[in-house]
Amino acid sequence: MFRVQRQQILLCFFRFVTSTDRLYPIEFVSEKYSTLVFQLNPPMHQAKIFVSGTDNLHTVKQMSCRCLVSLLMIYTLSTLPVVLSRNVHTTSYGGVCTSPCVQKRSSYYWCKQEGGSNSWWDYCSPEAGYDYNFSRCRSKCQYNNSKYKWCWTGYLGMTWGYCGNIIEEFEEHYTRHNVACKGECSLFRGYFQCTDTNGKQDYCSPSSDVTYRGEPCRINHRCGSHGNNYYWCYTDNNWDYCGKIISSCEEHDPLLQGRRLAAQEEEEICRITDSGNRRETILSAIPVSENALCRPSREEFREASNLIARINENFTFPESTRTIIFSATLRLDLQGSFVIAGVRYNNVQIQINGPRQGSSSIAQILLPQDLDTSLYSRYIRRALYTSMRSAYHKPPVKVVITIKRW
């Protein structure tokens, strides 16, 4: 019995070994998406095939080597998911895999990682819903008051195993020197930085047209090289470093939104389709009145960037209205929930502390109450930045995250 990998990306090859009278394939290798198991009964007169994690079983008689190869290719093409974003594996300690999640010289799945534990490697899950031993999880893969993520496995969930999540990465971050980040662009000692593909630590931007300090670029001077060998932009009264972001989403344009504001038109700014998991994630900007969101100062924008950075895959929203996280001058509040088209949404806002005339909110988003932050924290951060940038540059919008399943 041997395992055959069904792929997400058709960059693959067959490896053959010599039998007594023929060659036959033993591996179908590439970026792992899910697993087939083939059991060959010599002398190749029969092959039993089943998909790991299901009860499907097929028996094919008189299968030649060429037939087996054809069957593999037909299965691969017929089941290939159309995913417009990039799947990223996260590790048990919350890092990001920088190499494939594989069983390399071990009985468990692991990968090289950045941003999690102090080690250069960590456990990972080869597929969503499985642990690092490829045992099916009987509960969610979560921290559960631990420093690492794990889930219950085995019969009646009496055993447990390390696990990691597989998330849809729709943005690729680059450093100020235009080198791709191989880990997350995260806040460290007051600055946003990442480890680039050359293994060097460098500054990056947490959101488009935001500096490495978390401050906004001028609306008429976007983050770019502007004739230099590094990326930068003008801020209100100075300039600073930034990093470009290549995104699968459209950029929200405040100037275009100004024309839509009077008509109260909704603007779709992001749609990520994952046909393999039969779901679509949509971010929409909805105009609000000028006094619904107040304009943050540059210092408040930077402090809010620090708050937003704390929303990661370990972050959870409370079940009732309250302040979730706060700083000296700002707080992230859950302002209640309401139902839209049969789905309950949380109303989340970043607000300025203390009494003031008019609204104290500088960003507002609506997200499904059951949204799994371990999978969607990037979308939540993107939504908050979009709303806050619109409040800063005007006109303001709130952002709604919608999940469509079919």
> What's the pLDDT score for residue 262?
52
Residue with structure tokens 């969503």?
128
**Selected residue with higher pLDDT from 357 and 292:** 292
* pLDDT tens for each residue of 77-133: 333 333 345 788 999 998 889 899 999 999 999 999 987 888 999 999 999 899 999
pLDDT tier for residue 256 given thresholds of 50, 70 and 90 = low
**Selected residue with higher pLDDT from 311 and 251:** 311
Identify which of 377, 370, 326 has the alpha carbon closest to the alpha carbon of residue 345. 370
> What's the pLDDT score for residue 142?
86
Over range 322-334, report the average pLDDT. 96
Mean per-residue pLDDT of the chain: 79
Centroid of chain to Cα 128: 13
> What's the pLDDT score for residue 273?
81
Determine phi and psi for 345, rounding to 5 degrees: -115, 140
> What's the pLDDT score for residue 99?
92
> What's the pLDDT score for residue 235?
95
**Selected residue with higher pLDDT from 156 and 131:** 131
Say if CB 331 and CB 304 are below 8 A apart. no
pLDDT tier for residue 183 given thresholds of 50, 70 and 90 = confident
43 upstream amide cis, omega within 30 of 0? yes
* pLDDT tens for each residue of 188-234: 999 999 999 898 999 999 999 999 999 999 999 999 999 999 999 99
> What's the pLDDT score for residue 31?
35
